[in-house]
Chains A and B, each alone.
Chain A
Amino acid sequence: MHELSLTQAVVDSVAERFGPTRVVAVSLEIGKLTGVVVDSIRFCFDLVAEGTTLAGARLEIVEPCGRGHCRVCSHTFDVDDPIVLCPSCGSANVEVLSGRELRILSVELSGEERPCAPRAAAPATPE
């Protein structure tokens, strides 16, 4: 999937919604059946957030497991494969109950209302 576009969508919508208020943390929900690579989202986040009110923000990602309900045999089961098949009868006629979430759950905002300059890059070596 397109992790850079997704990360950009997160940063744009949060930055737009909360104006100059500095964002301390962003919490995302990315289901395990979405095909979205969470490590890539983490990799992109700092790059995309740089120069915005989200610069330096903590990124929290919860990954709901896949769960399906077979419409043929009524079996309910866990699944982590994007190809969702009923393990009981093999049918692909499955209602996905969870695992396809792709949402911004919440943001944590700084108590300070004044605009905040982007945080300087961390030193390369510990002091």
Chain B
Amino acid sequence: MCATCGCSGDARIIDAAANTGAPPPAHPHSHSQAPPPSHGHMHPHSQGQEHPLSHGHRNPPSRTVMLEQKVLARNDEQAAKNRAWLAERDLVAVNLMSSPGSGKTTLLERTIRDLSARVQVSVVEGDQETTFDAERIRATGCPVVQINTGAGCHLDAEMLARALRTLDPPTSSVVFVENVGNLVCPALFDLGESARVVVMSVTEGADKPLKYPHMFRTADVLLLNKTDLLPYVEFDMSRFREYMDKVNEWVQVIQVSATRGDGIHDWYAWLRERVRAGVALK
């Protein structure tokens, strides 16, 4: 069991639409285009340099093999395959990460409602258990696949590859990946996404960037959500900015209220900029 968060067990991919008898998405399915599986050669053969430790013995007691290989080499390889697969199809994949309850799903519901007329959107939902979030997304009419990680605390590149095979998003569209609510573990795992967006709500306190520096360091964009609650909570914006700068001074901070809509167009503007090269918003 993970000493940090208690993870173990295999993830389950649940096609929420199939589960509930809803019609499949209208686009043609072509599963042959799915990302290649991750089981292949993980290491360049040139990396293994064998060094016998003892000489002159018929049966050396042991030998040391130099590897100098990344621990997450397999994940990173699959992430690279995902990235290539997404690029071939002109897809922009946005990895949304946050603590539980920061408002990721509410943000997605609003984003889908507001943008679905201009760009096709699909969603991969990651949670330990339940299909609650997938059902909320499906209610907007958006194709969605739920990954239940069981006791697992993050999505990895292989899980996303399997979800993309199931989802089979149409070309020139946007895929939102709602990671498991956790500010620790998802930071380490590259999924092959186009951009990493960290969502943080003002109710969580201004000190979160310093408390979870690894997560905030990896973000391309920081969405500061629930700004409609600013009059009711103690949230020191200048302290938050100062802490954020210490961890990631290049990040773009966008203040939004996913429920009320404040600042939401700044988020859409960033998204539009992000997809401009590949996906044309009508």
A interface residues, how many (CB within 8 angstroms): 39
Chain A residues contacting B66 (CB-CB under 8 Å) are 105-106
Of the stretches B15-23, B125-133, B241-249, the one at the interface is B241-249
Cβ-based interface call for A92 (8 A): yes
Taking a contact as CB atoms under 8 Å apart, the answer to whether A2 and B153 are in contact is yes
Cβ-based interface call for A127 (8 A): no
Taking a contact as CB atoms under 8 Å apart, the answer to whether A40 and B63 are in contact is no
Pick the contact of A106: B42, B67, B214, B249 (CB < 8 A): B67
Chain B residues contacting A106 (CB-CB under 8 Å) are 64-68
Q: Which residues of B contact A (CB under 8 A)?
A: 1-5, 7-8, 42-43, 48, 53, 59-75, 153-154, 156, 184-185, 187-189, 210, 213-214, 245-249
Cβ-based interface call for A104 (8 A): yes
Taking a contact as CB atoms under 8 Å apart, the answer to whether B62 and A2 are in contact is no
- Take A1-B4, A105-B67, A112-B59 as given contacts and tell me if A6 and B72 are in contact as well, using a CB distance cutoff of 8 Å: yes
Chain B residues contacting A18 (CB-CB under 8 Å) are 65
Chain A, 28-47, CB within 8 A of any chain B CB: 28, 35, 37, 39-40, 43-44, 47
Chain A, 90-127, CB within 8 A of any chain B CB: 92-93, 102-112
- Take A40-B4, A107-B65 as given contacts and tell me if A13 and B42 are in contact as well, using a CB distance cutoff of 8 Å: yes
Taking a contact as CB atoms under 8 Å apart, the answer to whether B42 and A5 are in contact is no
Chain B residues contacting A59 (CB-CB under 8 Å) are none
- Take A2-B185, A17-B42 as given contacts and tell me if A102 and B70 are in contact as well, using a CB distance cutoff of 8 Å: yes
